[in-house]
Structure 1
Amino acid sequence: MLSNRKAVVTGALALAGTLLVAVPAQAETKPAAAPKGDGAKSVCKRLPKTEQRITASLTRLKGDATVVGSVARMEQRVANAKAAGHTEIQTLLSGRLTFRKSMVPTLETRQNDLKAVATWCAAQGHTQAPAK
C-alpha cells in the first residue's frame, strides 16, 4: 500500500514537472505576421466552389416542405408544434425559423457579390479552379 502511494506521488510530480516545462515553451511562440496582400488569387481560385455552395444552400432553403432544411419545412414544423400545443417546441422552432429566413437574403447578396468578383477575377487573369 505504501508503494502504491509512492507511485501515485511520483506520477503526480512527474506530470507537474512536465506541465511546468511545457508552459515556457508555449510562451516563446511568435505572433502571426500581418497579411501582405488581400488574398485575391486564393479568392478567385475558390470562387467556383463558393458559388456552388451558395447555390446549393439557396436551393435547399427555398425548397418545399419535403426538402430537409427548407424554410417551408420549418414553417410546417412550427405549425405542427402549435397545433399539438407544444409551446416550448414551438418557441424553439420559431427561433430557428427566423434565423433560417434571415439566411436567404444574406446568401442572395453574397451570390450577387460573387458575380462581380468573378468578373474582376476574369479581368485580372486570375485562373479559377473548376468546380467539383
Structure 2
Amino acid sequence: MHTHRKAAAAIGALALGTTLIALAGPAQADAPGATPVASSTPKVLPTPEGDGAKGVCKRLPKAEQRVEKALDRLNGPVTEAGSIARLEQRVNNAKAAGHTAVYNDLNDRLTYRKSLVPTLTQRQSDLNAVAGWCSSQGLGTPNAQ
C-alpha cells in the first residue's frame, strides 16, 4: 500500500510540473532571445509582380555549379563516394554475399540514383538556356563567377 502512495505522489508531481511548464511556455516566448511559437495560420505573401528574373540570373552560377558537381559525382568512378558505379559495386557485393535485405535496399537506392542523371542533365540544359537569356538581357554575367 505504501508503494502505491509513492507512485501516486510521483504521478501527481509530474502532472503538476507539466501543467506549470505549459503555463510558463507563453510567458517565456515573450522573453528576449526566446524562440517565438509557430503560428497556426500560414503567412500570406503579396502577389508577385514579376518573375524574379534578376534573382534567377544572380543565383545562376551557383545553381550551375551544384548541378555540375552532382553529375560529376554520380558519373564518378567506383572510388568516389556517391557515384553510381560505387553503389552498383555494393549491390553486387550484397547479392554475392546473400544479404537479401541489404541487396534490396541498395538496389532501390541505385534505381533512384540512376533516375537523377536524366533529371540533372535536363536541369543543366535548362540552366544553359537561362544563362543565354540572362546574357542577352544584360542581367549579369552568369559564367563570370
TM range (shorter): 0.7 to 0.9
Q: Which AA in structure 1 matches 2:104?
A: T
Runs of 4 or more, structure 1, over 6 Å off, are none
CA distance in 2, matches of 1:55, 1:113: 13
Change (3 A) 1:83 1:30: closer
Alignment correspondent of 1:12:
19
Contact 1:46 1:128 in 2 (8 A): no
| Partner SS for 1:38 | coil
State the 1:65 CA deviation. 0.6
In structure 1, runs of 5+ residues without a counterpart are none
Alignment correspondent of 1:87:
100
State the 1:128 CA deviation. 3.9
Query: Is structure 2 residue 121 aligned with structure 1 residue 108?
Result: yes
Q: How many residues align?
A: 126
Alignment correspondent of 1:51:
64
State the 1:36 CA deviation. 1.9
Alignment correspondent of 2:45:
32
Alignment correspondent of 1:76:
89
CA distance in 2, matches of 1:81, 1:28: 48
Change (3 A) 1:95 1:14: closer
Compute the TM-score of the two structures, normalised by the length of structure 2.
0.73
- Structure with the greater relative contact order (CA < 8 A, sep ≥ 6): 1 or 2? 1
CA RMSD of the aligned region, Å?
3.2
Compute the TM-score of the two structures, normalised by the length of structure 1.
0.79
Q: Deviations over 1:38-64 (max 9, x none)?
A: 111111001111111111110000011
Identity of aligned residues (%): 52
